[in-house]
Amino acid sequence: MKLRLSTGLLFVLISARVFAQLPALERVEPAFWWAGMKNPKLQLIVHGDKIAERTVKLTYAGVKLTSVHQVENPNYLFLDLEISAAAKPGTFNIVFTKAGARDLTYKYVLNQRDRSANRAQGVTSKDLIYLLMPDRFANGDPSNDVVKGMRETGLNHDSMYSRHGGDIQGLMNHLDYLKELGITTVWMTPEIENDEPHASYHGYAVTDHYKTDPRYGTNALYKAYVEKCHSMGLKVIKDLVHNHAGTEGWTITDMPMKSWVHQWPKYTNSNFRYTALTDPNAPASDRKQMLDGWFDRRMADMNESNPYVQNYLTQNHIWWVEYAGVDGFRLDTYPYNDPAYMADWAQKVKAEYPHFSIFGEVLDSQVAFEAYFTQGNTVNRGFDTHLPGITDAALKDAIAEALNGKDSWDGGVNRLYSTLAQDFMYQNPMRNCIFLDNHDMSRFFSVVKEDFDKYKSGMAMLLTMRGIPQLYYGDEILMTGYSNPDGLVRADFSGGWPGDKSNKFTAAGRTDKENEAFNYVKTLANYRKSSSAIQTGKQMQYAPQNGIYVYFRYDAKSTVMIVYNSNDKTSTLNTDRFAERTVGFGSGVNVVTKDKVASINELTIPAKTTVVIELKK
């Protein structure tokens, strides 16, 4: 995630401000929980006017109040509960008492866990992810475009940094489009409340961790969206931000304690250097600035070494899985987080949901820096991150170089070959999310200078390589844009708003070239649904020769041969040196065109083209 905001910052050691007319019991979070969780411990955060002056009582079979923590701010209490395996679903009162004042009562609910098979099912290399920004995809409910009382109420389609009105209902209305395309998993940028005064559409400055942004919908609608996805055979990824929170959030404007966020004598950005964490020669000051510096003036850097912060974030994320049944998490700005906390967090999430999927945003062009943060790489760290996979930016850059670069010992297709040759650094590279672009970087079609042959080659690689492929919304219809400024890659999906000049959700609304692109992606995406070799098979690559790169995906059932000709002219490929993988096969089928390949002994590959062939005996 990248943001460039110029707005001011309320930066204080601990806020002296109390909400105007703060209720005596303003909130309890999590507002409800579930019986039968693996972890019996639950910490409630209680916020209210001078709530710390009150004593706390509760009585319920199987639930024990073990500790009541007072902190620096008297508007907070932290309650430690222990919920035994014998506790039954039900309701009980938490009573807050004070001499001379009326009791305050909160009815707490323990729900029954939903153990349906299609909840928290995980996202794997069998899937194809579609990433979108809900504000820019489709507007399904104009009544929530402007919500009174929120800090940003403008709606301006002509401004890339203003809200445009897209919402969860708009996405729900177009799930059939994603299903037709061959998508199996949907990932929205955060739909959580971002009640900030500017650029609140992106979702990465959370102001209420337990609330869907009302301009997108409600918690109930979000849950209904997940359920609808599951009913259609689609999975859901939730985008999380551990590292920071919006400065207008209630825990920031009235912080429990000054150590809730990282404090500096004056405003200090992160140095944004992963090397400060990986370099054994780096000074402690560089590491501290990387981890504790703020990402942006409107994003308070959470102090994840604070146990209260740890409990608050971890429980919130588990709450969302249990409440809505999402299938995986994408973790924003992963390297900026406290490493030990993130390892503990991952273990706690996986303990509750063994099949759940997690991948972290790590954006670097070098495999070593990306692999450093992944599960199993303990030699230089002394502990395991328990992070299964990352967003594979090194592979993204290598594909772009293969498409745009000139063939040389370490350039062009050789860059792609050498990048994949470093897969030994990952415990399992199949868990990496592979992609060609996203909401923070130039769109792929622009990266290849709108060369359609290169576009198709890149898409073919994305949909046949190892890992979990991710498409960015609109790439399938050739949307363009460069990332400087970021907003240019976050344009509306045409057809998602009443009055749009064209509806790209339909073939009739797309141009011939857009339909050609859509159908190309659709063909490969739906093919990989039925190809175990592409989904979970092994990958073998051969050293490029004469600008031609060849790799195979194979298992006991089938073998798929992928050939990329990076040259500016048609090339003929003799396949004798691939005998280790082609032995026993004499012909094949072009996966895209469905044409029969009469002989695989010698192949003619057009310029700048990737050919995908399922081999036949």
- Beta strands 548-554 and 538-545 are antiparallel
How is residue 240 annotated by DSSP?
A: E
Q: Which residues of 99-201 form beta strands (DSSP E)?
A: 101-111, 129-132, 185-188, 192-193
Catalytic residue among 135, 332, 364, 392: 332
Task: Decide if 361 is catalytic.
Answer: yes
SS3 129: strand
Catalytic residue among 167, 195, 361, 407: 361
Rounded to an integer, what distance in angstroms lies between the CA atom of residue 543 and that of residue 551?
9
Q: Judging by beta carbons within 10 Å of its beta carbon (0-12, 13-18, 19+), is residue 222 exposed, middle or buried?
A: buried
Close Cβ partners of 430 (under 8 Å, ≥ 6 residues apart)? 124, 125, 466, 467, 468, 536
Rounded to an integer, what distance in angstroms lies between the CA atom of residue 291 and that of residue 333?
11
Q: Which residues of 123-146 are buried (b: 16+ CB within 10 A; e: fewer)?
A: bbbbbbbbbbbbbbbbbbbeebbe
- Per DSSP, helices labelled H in 201-305 are 219-231, 250-253, 275-278, 284-292
Amino acid code (one letter) for 352: E
Task: Decide if 332 is catalytic.
Answer: yes
Among 545, 587, 16, 516, smallest CA distance to 253 is for: 16
Cis before 30 (ω within 30): yes
Interior angle at CA 409, CA 403 and CA 415, nearest 5: 40
Rounded to an integer, what distance in angstroms lies between the CA atom of residue 381 and that of residue 186?
33
Give catalytic residues, as residue numbers: 332, 361
